[in-house]
Amino acid sequence: MTSAPVLALRGVSKRFGAVQALTDVELEVHAGEVVALVGDNGAGKSTLVKTIAGVHPIDEGEIEWEGTPVSIQRPQDAQQLGVATVYQDLALCDNLDVVGNLFLGRELKRRGTLDEVAMEQKARELLDTLSIRIPSVRIPIAGLSGGQRQVVAIARSLIGEPKVVILDEPTAALGVEQTAQVLDLVERLRERNLGVILISHNMADVRAVADTVAVLRLGRNNGSFPVQETTQETIIAAITGATENAVTRRQARTAEAAK
C-alpha cells in the first residue's frame, strides 16, 4: 500500500452553525483496504461520511482523489468520482424484485424498453462473483431476510463500478449468521481492490475485517491503528478518550514540570 491513496481527506473541517462537527480530520483509504471508522455517538462519523458522499460540502481542508484535489459539492459529484454509499436505512423498494432494485435508476435498455434479460444476466454474474446467495433474483425484496437485504444493498452500490464503498453500520441489526455473511462480503470487496470505509460500533466486526481503524473523538482524529498490532483496549481507550483523563493529565503536568 505504498501507492497514493484512492481517497484522502486533508485537514477537513465542517461546522453546522455553532457546532464544530469536524476539525482538521485526516483520513486515507487505499485500494484494497478496509478502513473502519469508529467513534462514540456524536463523534462525527456520519458527518465525515456525508462530506465524502457529497451530502454536506466541506468548509475547510481538501479532499484528494487518487492524488489530485477534487471538489465534492453534490451527491452526484461523489458518484461520478466513484464513491458509493450504503446508508443504514437500505433504501430498497420492497415491491420490486432483486434485479429491479439492483438496476433502479440505471436500467439497461434495449430499443427504448427495459432489457430484463441483460439485467438478470448481469445481476446473476455480480451476485455470483460476490458469492451472494439469495433464493432467486426474481424474488421481491419483501421476501428476503435482513442480512440478504443488506447484501443486496451493498451489491447495488457496486453496479456503478465504484472505487470506494462506504458502509454505514452494515451489521447493526443483523444476527450472528447474517453478520458473518456481510463481513464475508466486505472481504470480497477488498479482494476486488475496492477501498472500503466501514462505520461500525461493533469491535468484533471491526477486528474481523478491517485493516486500519481510524478513531474519531469529538470531531477530531484520535488515532489511526493497524488492526493486527493493536489491542481492543487501545482502540476503546481512543474511542472513549480514556487515554485522556485526570490521571494522564496529571502525568503530563508533572512531566512538564520536571523539565
Partner 1 sequence: MSNDTKTPATPAPESPAVDPRLLQREAGLQGYVNEFVRKVRGGELGSLPVIIGLIVIWAVFSLNDGKFFAPSTAEFVAYYMVGVGLLSIGLVFVLLLGEIDLSVGSVSGLAAAFFAVISVNDGLNPWLAVLLTLAGGALVGALQGWVFAKIGVPAFVVTLSGFLAWQGVMLWLLGSTGTINLPDTGLIHFLSGNSYFLGGDISGAYILAALAVASLAVGSFLEQGRRRKAGVPFRATGEIVLRSVLLAIGAFGVAYVLNQASGVPNAAVLFLALLIIADFVLRRTAYGRKIFAVGGNIEASRRAGISVSAIRISVYAISGAFAALGGLAIAAETGAAGQAGSDPNNLMMAIAAAVIGGTSLFGGRGRVWSALLGMLVISSIQSGLYMLGLNLDIQYMIMGVVLLAAVVVDSLSRRTQKSSGRG
Residues near 132 by beta carbon (within 8 Å), at least 6 away in sequence: 151, 152, 155, 185
CB of 96 to partner 1, least distance (A): 6
Per-residue contact flags (x/-) with partner 1 for residues 99 to 118, judged by CB under 8 A: -xx--xxxx-x--xxx--xx
Site for partner 1 in 35-74 (CB under 8 A): none
139 lies in the binding site for partner 1 (CB under 8 A): yes
150 lies in the binding site for partner 1 (CB under 8 A): no
Site for partner 1 in 4-23 (CB under 8 A): none
Nearest C-alpha neighbor of 122 from the set 110, 167, 5? 110
Among the listed residues 128, 193, 231, 251, the single contact to partner 1 using CB under 8 A: 128
CB of 41 to partner 1, least distance (A): 20
Among the listed residues 21, 209, 214, 215, the single contact to partner 1 using CB under 8 A: 209
State the pairing for strand pair 195-199/83-86.
unpaired
Question: What phi, psi does 153 have (nearest 5°)?
Answer: -65, -40
- CB nearer to partner 1: pick between 155 and 208: 208
Among the listed residues 32, 42, 57, 140, the single contact to partner 1 using CB under 8 A: 140
Instruction: Provide the strand spans (E) within the chain.
Output: 7-16, 19-29, 34-39, 60-65, 68-70, 83-86, 109-110, 113-114, 164-168, 195-199, 212-217, 220-226
CB of 79 to partner 1, least distance (A): 9
Which grid coordinates are listed for 186?
466486505
- CB nearer to partner 1: pick between 93 and 247: 93
Reduced to 3 states, what is the DSSP secondary structure of residue 103?
A: coil
- CB nearer to partner 1: pick between 159 and 197: 159
Residues near 99 by beta carbon (within 8 Å), at least 6 away in sequence: 116, 119, 120, 123, 137, 138
CA dist., res. 85 & res. 160, Å (int) = 11
- CB nearer to partner 1: pick between 186 and 216: 186
- Given a contact cutoff of 8 angstroms between Cβ atoms, the answer to whether 37 and 49 are in contact is yes
Q: Which residues bind partner 1 (CB under 8 A)?
A: 87, 89-96, 100-101, 104-107, 109, 112-114, 117-118, 120-121, 124, 128-129, 131, 133-136, 139-140, 142-143, 176-177, 179-181, 183-184, 187, 202-205, 207-209, 232
